[in-house]
Amino acid sequence: MKKSLILLGLSLIVLSCAAVRVNYDYEKATDFNLYKSYNYYGDMNMGMSELDSKRLLDALDAGLQAKGLSLSDSPDFLININSSSYQEAQRSNMGVGVGGSGGNVGGGISIGIPVGQAKITREIVFEFVDEDRSGLFWQAISESSYQPNARPEEKESQFRAIVEKVLSGYPPAPKKK
């Protein structure tokens, strides 16, 4: 039992420390101080399972509330989230070759055998939209490794890490003059 708890703890650490890459974009004329409340688009299709969608929204709610924003029925802006998963091309291959020559006869065969498991990456796009003023005013695109068979605790930990990294860029730091 103790070994399984240690293994669970180590796997949570590894998953939460997995590299999360985020690219940010925003409308530079936006006054981010105007935004105090948010909500989500009602017809949002996030591109993930219902359980994963709930995990991500729970993590995002906690992160936004920690920044002083509140969930509201009459929000200052709406949030749209889309995600997609893709499998990266296998980079590790082992080559096996056979060839021969002699007396003006030659030939060869080469076979590439993939080594290891293919890496699955999930991209999640977060869009903050002010429908009354400027439309889309802030966007973050995150990329991180994705393990579809991970335990629920591991998924929650990974979503918290993604949201923490995404919200570290909101609001954007004011530019020095």
Which strand (E) or helix (H) includes residue 121? strand 120-130
Does residue 39 fall inside a structural domain?
yes
Instruction: Give a yes or no: residue 82 inside a domain.
Output: yes
Name the most confidently modeled range: 94-103, 105-114, 158-167: 158-167
Query: What CATH number has the domain bearing residue 84?
Result: 3.30.160.670
Q: Which of 62, 72, 59, 67 is nearest to 33 (CA)?
A: 67
Assess if residue 100 is contained within a domain: no
Structure confidence at residue 107 (pLDDT): 55
pLDDT in tens, 118-177: 688 999 999 999 999 889 999 999 999 988 899 999 999 999 999 999 999 999 987 665
* pLDDT reported for residue 151: 95
Q: d(Cα 177, Cα 17) in Å, to the nearest integer? A: 35
Q: 119: which 2 tokens? A: 């890496």
pLDDT of residue 87: 83
Residue 120 included in any domain: yes
Residue 107 covered by a domain: no
Report yes or no: 39 and 72 within 8 Å, Cβ to Cβ: yes
Please report whether residue 130 resides in a domain: yes
Specify the number of domains making up the chain. 1
Antiparallel, parallel or unpaired: β 77-87 and 37-40: parallel
- Quote the pLDDT of residue 13: 47
Q: How far is CA 95 from CA 100, 106, 113, 114, 118, in A?
A: 17, 19, 6, 9, 17
How high is the pLDDT of residue 106?
Answer: 52
Q: Which domain holds residue 153?
A: 20-89+115-167
Examine residue 172 and say whether the peptide bond preceding it is cis (omega within 30 degrees of 0): no
pLDDT in tens, 13-59: 444 445 899 999 999 999 999 999 999 999 888 999 999 999 999 99
